[in-house]
Amino acid sequence: MIRAGLIRRSSSGMYSLLPLALRSLDKIERIIDFEMTSIGAQKLSLSILLSASTWKQTGRWKSAGSELFRLKDRKGSEYCLAPTHEEEITQLVGHEIASYRQLPLRLYQIGKKYRDEMRPRYGLLRGREFIMKDLYTFDTSEEAALRTYEEVLIAYKNIFNKIGVPFVIADADSGNIGGTKSHEFHFLSQVGEDMILTCSNCGYSANEERAYGSLPLTKQAGNGVNKKPIFNFGISKNNRLIICILGSGYVLNVFKLKAAASENSFEDIQIVNDIKDIQINNNFNEIDIYIDITFQTNLPDLELFLSNKLFDENIYKLIQSNKHIITMHHGDFHNTSPGDGCPICSMSSVSHNNPLIGHNAIEVGHTFLLGTKYSEPLKATFAPETPQNMGELRPIQMGCYGIGISRMLAAIIESSYDEHGIIWPSSVAPYRVCIIPNSDEPLIQQATRNLFDLLTSISHELNGEVLIDDRTNLSLGYRIKDSELVGYPWMMILGKRFLESGRVEIHERRTRKILDVNFDEIKNIFL
Ligand code: ATP
Ligand code: MG
Ligand code: MG
Ligand code: MG
């Protein structure tokens, strides 16, 4: 992207977006705007500098840890640079909504987000400043929120189809409890930091941690090398024990774990059942405290043992007082060999043990059904149509849906390039056609203008999409290379051949096919 003149580095994880990049970003945004509008979402803009108060109410001021850019104003009040906007929008909507009559509501924005990433890398793929589209939905019931979720998924598929880069939707796990759902949208790419596992038989796709997390325990036990911890564990605001499976920040499915445990008579896992008030938190990121653990599955007694240092002594005491101890070691549970089968297929009697194939992938979008995770602590409530008791207020059912727009731009390039440079899908190419006149000769200059007019008259879609590389002080060869590097879908050369025969040399970037056509034939290419 730097060589093609799309971006320039400002500092670690921070980039200036140059005109060509901005044109592509704009196109991605227009596609998103269209689909958001189609599902009745309205666009707004929330402040990026956020007061700490709501973040403290939801517990994320602590749990966000060092990824949060924190700052103080001259009076010493605490703020952060928004890494995401759940708190802000929930507070806003909470103030505006009083009754079920004002719901449902869908609001989204496109703007900058800030995360002090541990390892900013690959330019826009993991920046410390990045552009995100974030949609938040507000419904009166879980069922309505689920319907909204399904509708947004369709809108997301439309967005990704229009952009035209092959994508994979990674399902967190099917049969989730409490209506909690989460999907990730990925582009497959070698540089991707995520691992997506797909089954060639049934099409099941999941993020690595989740795929393994959904396997029956027998399949997970083993001495596999654990790249990342798959289980996390924490105490919620109301002091409930939470055991959750790491999957890009979200809790998987503890109930499935329990079912699998009893099926396989892994008594020690019963600890989960024994703690009566276990609560599945919707969003792992928002648990106050968490510790990486994995389970050891063959203990006769239940023992809870924390393999990592505790962050807080009180929590340790609380866990000890539960007298349920599980020994946990990284890797005990997690077998990363492809020898593991597809969890969906392994449940059906027809076919089983279909291996999951791993692919590196880039997470470009993430959807999540939030429930009342934010509306409860921030008191975003409404008066229901049929209250159970006088003056009853219910928390709004929410969903949140992100697309990393600047990451998407870089990810499109990562999934579409060759040794000559970028190959833009025409949907988001900075310009669709680049005309290169080989000289200042009046005949060529006139032909350039004619070609430009012809192209923009062929279809309104080419309006504003034709660029003339008039840097005739640079050699034709240089400019051809440059055009291939930037990756315009079509390059048209007006040179010697045109002067001799009136024919234009047209290069298709994707196939590198060269067409030799006269003016009249050009429209056939675009119609
Ligand atoms: P990752 O797992 O890559 O760190 P995330 O799961 O933390 O991403 P979300 O909180 O789900 O990210 O944010 C929604 C979207 O924002 C992501 O799907 C991704 O496309 C984008 N995004 C997140 N972090 C970054 C970043 N540092 N730079 C660019 N885009 C990002
Ligand atoms: Mg992250
Ligand atoms: Mg993630
Ligand atoms: Mg995510």
String of b and e for 454-490 (b: at least 16 CB within 10 Å)?
A: bbbebeeebeebbbbbeebeeebeebbebbbebbbbb
Best CA proximity match to 213, nearest among 356, 323, 311, 363: 356
State the pLDDT at residue 267. 32
Pocket around ligand 1: residues whose beta carbon is below 6 Å from it? 84, 115, 117, 126-127, 130, 132, 248-249, 363-366, 402, 404, 406-407
Burial 303-329 (b: 16+ CB within 10 A, else e): ebebbeeeeeeebeeebeeeebbbbbe
For the record, the structure tokens of 330 come out as 């990284």
SS3 495: coil
Torsion sign (Cα): 423, 428, 430, 434: positive
Rounded CA separation 191/328 (Å): 31
Ligand nearest to the CA of 120: 1
At residue 91's C-alpha, the angle toward residues 232 and 144, to 5°, is: 75
* Residue 345 pLDDT: 73
Q: How many CB atoms lie within 10 A of CB 419?
A: 5
> Best substitution site from 132, 413, 415 to test ligand 1's pocket, by max atoms within 8 Å of Cβ?
132
pLDDT at 323: 32
pTM of model > 0.80: no
Mean pLDDT by 10 residues, the chain (527 residues): 97 98 98 98 98 96 93 98 97 98 98 95 96 98 96 98 95 46 92 85 76 39 32 36 33 34 34 30 32 32 30 40 33 40 66 74 94 96 96 97 98 96 97 96 95 93 96 96 98 92 95 94 87
DSSP string over 147-209: HHHHHHHHHHHHHHHHHT---EEEES-SS-GGG--EEEEEEE-TT-SEEEEEETTT--EEEHH
The predicted pLDDT at position 213 comes to 52
User: CB-based contacts of 128: which residues, under 8 Å, 6+ apart?
Assistant: 12, 13, 14, 69, 114, 115, 116, 117, 120
Pairing of strands 78-81, 105-114: unpaired
Q: Which residue has the tokens 């949208």?
A: 185
pLDDT at 353: 64
Residue 61's closest CA among 77, 46, 45, 75? 77
Can the peptide bond before residue 104 be classed as cis, meaning omega within 30 degrees of 0?
A: yes
According to the model, what pLDDT value does residue 357 have? 81
Residues present in the chain in total: 527
Look at residue 286 in the predicted model and tell me its pLDDT. Answer: 27
Contact in structure between 471 and 461 (CB atoms under 8 Å): no
Centroid of ligand 2 to alpha carbon of 226 (angstroms)? 19
Q: What ipTM score was computed for the predicted complex, to two decimals?
A: 0.99
Taking the CA of residue 404 as reference, the ligand 1 atom at the shortest distance is: 20
* Phi (first) and psi of residue 362, to 5 degrees: -110, 125
- Specify whether the CB–CB gap between 497 and 503 falls below 8 A: yes
Would you give the end-to-end CA distance of the chain in angstroms? Answer: 31
